[in-house]
Structures are given as C-alpha cells and as structure tokens.
Amino acid sequence: MSRGLSLRKGAAGARILGFGDYRPRRIVTNDEISQRVDTTDEWIRTRVGISERRFAGDDESVVDMSVAAAGKALATSGVLAQDIDTVIVATCSAPAPIPGLAPEVAHRLAISAPGAFDLNAACAGFCYGLSAAADAIRSGSARYALVIGAEKLTDWTDQDDRGTCIIFGDGAGAAVVAASDTPGVGPVVWGSDGEKSRAISVAGRSSFMTMDGRAVYRWATTQLADSAHRACELAGVDIGEIDVFVPHQANLRIVDSMLRTMKFKDDVAVARDIVYSGNTSSASIPLALTAMIERGEAKTGDTALLLGFGAGLTYAGQVIICP
C-alpha cells in the first residue's frame, strides 16, 4: 500500500472583496449595424434587448482590458497587487492559443510570480473561474486570487453575419477573491452538454464564430433553472431570499423567461446590462454586477445568484455575498 501525502490546510471559505470593469471606448448602436447588415434597431431591441454594445479598438486587447478591469478590482477591494498569488483569465477570444494571457496580465499588474492560467468555458467562464479560485483558497493553494472575464469577441465575429454581429461585444470584468472565515462564495453547480458542442463554434484559425441561436435559446430557457435552484440549495439560501440575479447576458428574453420560471422575490434586482454591452461572454457577469454595485442596485451583504451558460455547451452557477 502506498503512503498518503500531506495536504495544506486551507481557509474556511472564500469571499469576493471587490469588482472592477473595463468597457471599450467605442459605442456601436443598432443603427450603425443596420447600415451594414439587413437588420433594424427595432428587431434587435425586441428579439435580443440590445440597444448598443462596445467594440474594442487596436489598443484595447484582451490583455489590456483584463489589466484595466483587474486594476479597478484591486483598487476597489483595497488589496495590493503584491498580495495576489493566483490569476485566472476566463476568455474564449484570446488572439492565439500560446501563450496563455494570465501570466502577462499578472506581469503588467506587477504581481510577482503568481499561479496564472487561462480558462475557457465560454460564457460560463467567469463562474468556472470563481469556483476554481474559491476551491484553491479552501484547499490552501491560494489566499488572494484575481478572477477576470475578458473578451474581444469582435476579433472572431463576422460583421456581415446578422445572426452574430448584432449580439456580440467586447469588455472585461474582474473580482478579487480572498480567504475568509465567513464563506461568501457558495458551492458551484456546473455541467455541460458536449453533444451540442457545435451549436456555437469557430471552425478554424481563419474562421469566424457560427451559432445556432435557436438551439442555444431553447437549451438556456428549458435546462438551467434546476441548476440555479440547486446552487441556492447548496448555499443554504432559499431562491426567494436572493437579492440580486445576474444571469449571463445573452438575450433579454432569456433573462425574462428565467424570471418567469424561477421563484424569486418580487423586488429581486436583475442584471440587464446586455442593453448597453451586448453579449460579452465570460465578461458579461462581472461587467453587469460591477455596474449594479456602482448604481447601488446590489448592496454590500446582498446575496447574488450568478448563472453563466454558453458555448460547449457549458453552464455554472453559484450564490455569492456582494462586497
């Protein structure tokens, strides 16, 4: 029989200390898009809920946006860059597969030699990253982690394809996650359905993204409510006690369908950042929540249910306590 190994002793839990975001400078309206493809402002607003989105410029790379969002999250949380020991960049729109972006992001933030890796779970990426960070903190592998969701989806979107170009935008959001005696990141409920992996895909290095929007819409509105309820159950919170609901910002009609299915309280605050940001994949949840915190819609101590879903197909949800 082989001997067992020693393990580190981790913290009782993990807690988010602060969020930050970065929104690219250029605002692109529906009217601007309808000058190029056969669509209308009215169709986009009623079928998807988007009024405008941001497109990143040449000086706004995934790394640039990650650094900006993470710098803001560090400032908001009061944590020093030198204290961060783990950096996770959730993205599905890195310009190249090698190297991963997290080490460069850490270097530009003057974080010294952290564990640093990229994670691709598409639009569920931020929730996967948050879970990885919280579990690393609980197992003792980390004490202060940066979790970033950052996308430059316009690099991978055919601006002549009205099925995708009206939807996707660019941006980044970040959270500082720290060891805590009072857990503020609940257990994740995650999963995937690889049988539908072709529903959203990029065929090769010179290809753009294709999406079977109807299939993803059907899946999102019929398969995810149970996981959201389970995430609440595991965190010991009744769904009727949730103060803030932050689903991935894919389509406002998906958000409204989830609100009809799930039994939230009447005055639950709901993220609707898609109206101004479009669909920013792994950045959408931290972007939306940062804005809600800044507007006072999500307050310190509130319970928030996060629910990411998208390409893969992947999904992940957890309850957090707002910083």
Which residues lie near ligand UT7 (CB under 6 A)? 39, 43, 47-48, 123, 162-163, 166, 200, 213-214, 216-217, 220, 250-251, 279, 281, 310
**Which letter, b or e, does each residue of 243-274 get, where b requires 16 or more Cβ atoms within 10 Å of its Cβ?**
bbbbbbbbbbebbebbeeebebeeebbbbbbb
CB of 280 to ligand UT7, least distance (A): 9
Among the options 30, 248, 251, 322, which is catalytic?
A: 248
- Report the alpha-carbon distance of residue 128 to residue 286 in Å, rounded: 13
User: In which residue are the tokens 């049988």 written?
Assistant: 195
> Residue 201: left if φ>0, alpha if ψ -120 to 50, beta else—which one?
beta
Q: Which residues pair with 178 in a beta bridge?
A: 15, 144
**Nearest approach, Cβ of 6 to ligand UT7 (angstroms)?**
42
Structure tokens at 241: 């006690």
Q: How far is the CB of 298 from ligand UT7 (least distance, A)?
A: 22
Q: Which is closer to ligand UT7, CB of 10 or CB of 213?
A: 213
Percentage helix, strand, coil, to 5, in the chain?
35, 25, 35
d(Cα 167, Cα 153) in Å, to the nearest integer? 10
Q: Are strands 189-192 and 26-29 parallel, antiparallel or unpaired?
A: unpaired
Query: In residues, how long is the chain?
Result: 323
Look up 123 and say whether it is catalytic. Answer: yes
Q: How far is the CB of 209 from ligand UT7 (least distance, A)?
A: 10
Q: Which residue is nearest to ligand UT7 (CB)?
A: 213
Q: Is 248 a catalytic residue?
A: yes
Q: Which is nearer to ligand UT7, 112 or 207 (CB)?
A: 207
For ligand UT7, the closer of residues 189 and 283 by Cβ is: 283
Would residue 279 show up in a list of annotated catalytic residues for this protein? yes
Catalytic one of 123, 127, 165, 322: 123
Helix (H) or strand (E) holding 73: helix 62-77
C-alpha span between 77 and 80 (Å, rounded): 9
Identity of the residue, 160 or 294, whose beta carbon is nearer to ligand UT7 in the bound complex: 160
Which residue, 141 or 210, has its beta carbon nearer to ligand UT7? 210
Closest to ligand UT7 by CB, 51 vs 141, is 51
CB of 259 to ligand UT7, least distance (A): 16
CA 131 vs CA 15, 30, 34, 53: distances in Å: 11, 35, 39, 28
Query: In whole angstroms, how close is the CB of 212 to ligand UT7 at the nearest point?
Result: 8
**CB 258, CB 247: distance < 8 Å:** yes
Active-site amino acid positions: 123, 248, 279
